[in-house]
Structure 1
Amino acid sequence: MLSNGLSQGSVPRLGRPQPLRDRVYEALLELISTRSLRPGQHLVEAELAGHLGVSRQPVREALQRLNTEGWVDLRPAQGAFVHEPSGDETDQLFVVRALLETEAARLAAAASSAEGLERLDELCATGEAAVAADDVDTVVVANAEFHARVMELAGNTVLAELAAHVERRVRRYYTPIVHQAWVEHRELIEAIAAHDEGRAQRVMRAHTQDARTRFPPRPTT
């Protein structure tokens, strides 16, 4: 365990066939969004470079990009730190997520297919089983895939891209481990299957707006 809190086996070493700055950026972004690197944590270039098996230069470039995008704070004479959002910032993020997801639910209800509904049902069953088993990692993956599938059924590429960006940020704040979240997923499937756009909107709006206060925070690793 190094001083930045990462274990030696928690970070994959990177190869060199592509521009390293992009691969380092993606690796660090994943570590931040999954809380392997925690909000407020000091990011030491040399240690990150050692973990990733690269030089410090692509790490420095990646940190600068992450700073521009709001994932990292670069503080003069102190270094880089994982961004720690304020309560207002988090609330605003969940509001935007609710808007995007609610519109996606409406569009999905208008254009759902038997195949799409079957996949939603499978993902919901996976999530429900994982909740019962207290399998947090599987729950998180199933939840993300469920919402991504709704976005896919909506058929709006731009909406899906925006939602994916927001969802990655939201992943830092909660784990949809509670049973009620999956009850609401079932209700959403029913609304989409019935092509009931209004009900799909109402279910998704309540589901996403309540996430800020109802779901527990992601555990610190």
Structure 2
Amino acid sequence: MLLSEQAGQPAATKIQRPATLRESVIEAIQELIVSGQLKPGQHLVESELADLLGVSRQPVREALQQLSGEGWVDLHPGQGAFVHVPTVEEADQLLAVRALLETESARLAALHADEDGVKRLRALCARGIAAVQADDVDAAVATNSELHALVTALSGNKVLAELTSQVARRVRWYHTPVARRRGMASWEEHTSLIDAIEAGDERRAAKVMREHTEHTRESYMAQREKEPVQPAPKPVRRRRRTTG
């Protein structure tokens, strides 16, 4: 039977292809940036990244090109690649969009979350509190991302979950520098959020999430004002010497 004759029948399951080397390198470099191991404005040397990741320079070069198009890396002719320095405006815009998406996620989660979902949220919250008490910033940031992702999943809205996932990694990038400053207060807010979700109080859940995301935005802006990051210098063209 021809494919054209199969209209109306259930679509065949697509074959999952393994990640290419370039995709794996992109993922690894993004994670280095998000975790703060590569700082905003830092010069990215292809040979050093290749040695660090155990690959040749070619996939690193290809990865940097793609990351440049996605706003993670800045390429300066004559100087090389640098970790992108988010402007205050772009960070503010992204965190504002995040607040809108996650506020709605929390509201819907209060309507649709079941007992098991609430139990999983409580477990993540306990893990996050333990990470803060141990001063393990990386674990706290990772657990924070898991908790927010679960709230979105519990909303039951797949489109909302997809949109939220598109900004989640960049949100984690902005959250990492302020995670220690937010400290236990962030997890107290998480606890209030889970209480509202468990009670099925959609208005309360939305309010807590809106205030929670706003506190993170304010902390990030204060951090940027306290420790401004300078972009990489623009390349300077050298004049050729002329002979008389």
Match runs of 1:105-184 below 5 Å: 105-175=106-176, 176-177=179-180, 178-184=183-189
**CA RMSD after TM alignment:** 1.8
Aligned to 1:208: 213
Number of aligned residue pairs: 202
1:68-101 Cα distance to aligned partner (Å, 9 max, x none):
1000011111111100011111111110110111
Q: Which structure has the larger Rg over C-alpha atoms?
A: 2
The separation in 1 between residues aligned to 2:172 and 2:97, in whole angstroms, is 14
- Whether 1:62 and 2:63 are equivalent positions in the alignment is yes
TM-score, normalized by length of structure 2? 0.78
SS in 1 for 2:36: coil
The separation in 2 between residues aligned to 1:127 and 1:23, in whole angstroms, is 28
158-167 vs 107-116, which moves further: 158-167
1:168-197 Cα distance to aligned partner (Å, 9 max, x none):
112222343411111111111111111111
SS in 2 for 1:38: coil
> Any conservation in 2 of the 1:112–1:192 contact (CA below 8 Å)?
yes
Match runs of 1:182-197 below 5 Å: 182-197=187-202
The separation in 2 between residues aligned to 1:171 and 1:32, in whole angstroms, is 10
Deviation at 1:159, TM superposition (A): 1.8
Match runs of 1:11-26 below 5 Å: 19-26=20-27
Deviation at 1:18, TM superposition (A): 5.2
Aligned to 2:30: 29
Return the letter of the residue paired with 1:89: E
The separation in 2 between residues aligned to 1:153 and 1:73, in whole angstroms, is 37
The separation in 1 between residues aligned to 2:223 and 2:119, in whole angstroms, is 30
TM-score, normalized by length of structure 1? 0.85
1:136-191 Cα distance to aligned partner (Å, 9 max, x none):
22211221111111011012223223222312112222343411111111111111
Specify whether residues 18 and 159 from structure 1 end up closer, same or farther in structure 2 by C-alpha distance, changes over 3 A only.
closer
Runs of 4+ in 1 over 3 A off after TM superposition: 214-218
- Identity fraction in percent: 59
The separation in 2 between residues aligned to 1:75 and 1:96, in whole angstroms, is 29
> Any conservation in 2 of the 1:120–1:189 contact (CA below 8 Å)?
yes
The separation in 1 between residues aligned to 2:55 and 2:190, in whole angstroms, is 42
> Any conservation in 2 of the 1:173–1:217 contact (CA below 8 Å)?
no
The separation in 2 between residues aligned to 1:217 and 1:54, in whole angstroms, is 35
